[in-house]
Every structure is written in C-alpha cells, then in structure tokens.
Amino acid sequence: MTDLGPLSYFLDISIHRSFTTMFLSQRQDAQEILSRANMSSCKSALTPVDTQSKLSASSGPPMKDPTLYRQLSRAVQYLTFTRPNISYVVQQVCLFMHNPHEQHFHTLRRILCYIKGTIEFGMHLTSSPATGLVSYMDADWGGCSDTRRSTFGYCIFLSDNLVS
C-alpha cells in the first residue's frame, strides 16, 4: 500500500484544502454536461427554475427522442452532491424521466443555463465543534398538480447553538 498524498480529486469531485476548510467542486463535470447539451456558450440564468409555473406530467407535447433528456437529467443529478442549491429543481425534472415532454426539457435547459452562470459554485466544509442538531422543513400541501400529494424538503444541520 502506498500513500498517494493529500486527497485532491475523488469520483469526479475536485477537492481544494486549506488548514481549516475544504472546497468541493464539480466544475469539470459541469463543463462536460454543458458541452454534451451544446450549451457551452449559452446565456446564464439567475435562478435555476421559473417560480411561476409548475411542471405537470401532461404539459406540452411529448419529446420525440427522450434519450438526451434522460442522460442530462442523470448527469445534473450527480452535480447535486456539491450543489445542494439545485437539488429541488433537479428532483422535479427527474420525476418525468419515464415520459418527458418539451416543457420538461425547457426546464432542464434552464437548469443548465443556471449552472453555466454559477459554474464556480461548490460546497465549503469547515471544521467546527457541533454539539446540537437543528432541522428545517418546508412543505407544500397538495403541491403536485398531477397527484395532489404534498411535496416537501428538509435539511438537518449540526449546530453548537441548539434552540429548544
């Protein structure tokens, strides 16, 4: 067994270390996804999703060849490891991988435009003495327009200031 030195790249995740922090990034993957979608020179978007419209299983005409949609959806889903800010919208796009429509592909392209403008984003990890657990939840009762089921997301943080 040999020591390969400090970790700098693992499973397509680039790791930059300092004494107290680590920065995880998938910049190279994001660039490859953009080139695969022929969007390397697209105009960037300020947000990953249009907040006014909701996706539906029957919105717009179905795609003739959903192969590219499925490949890009899976690739963007892998980016959520270091980009939790796109997790919700990527999950919404992945709901329709079995039968994608043109509007779903338009939403996926908007996510890619957002990634183009935020390609330098990643995840900062710092060391801190965490002694408590804080949880946040957001629920949208009846939020799915197809099934009328609720959609929700949650996030759990370790914190040294536990509020009871």
Q: pLDDT tens for the chain, 164 residues: list them.
A: 787 777 787 888 888 888 888 889 999 999 999 999 999 888 988 888 877 777 777 778 888 888 998 999 999 999 988 888 888 888 888 888 888 888 888 889 999 999 999 998 888 888 776 666 666 665 565 556 666 555 555 555 554 544 44
Three-class DSSP category at 161: coil
| pTM: predicted TM-score of the whole model, two decimal places | 0.75
The predicted pLDDT at position 81 comes to 87
- The answer to whether the beta carbons of residues 111 and 90 sit under 8 Å apart is yes
- Separation CA 152–CA 144 (nearest Å): 10
- The answer to whether the beta carbons of residues 34 and 40 sit under 8 Å apart is yes
- The answer to whether the beta carbons of residues 71 and 108 sit under 8 Å apart is no
- Separation CA 92–CA 16 (nearest Å): 31
The predicted pLDDT at position 162 comes to 44
The predicted pLDDT at position 164 comes to 40
- Separation CA 62–CA 64 (nearest Å): 6
What is the maximum alpha-carbon separation in the chain?
Answer: 56
The predicted pLDDT at position 155 comes to 55
- Separation CA 52–CA 45 (nearest Å): 15
Distance set, CA 49 to CA 91, 109, 162 (Å): 12, 10, 33
Which tokens belong to 41?
């020179």
CA dihedral sign of residues 38, 82, 144, 113: negative
In residues, how long is the chain? 164
CA nearest neighbour of 98 among 146, 144, 66: 66
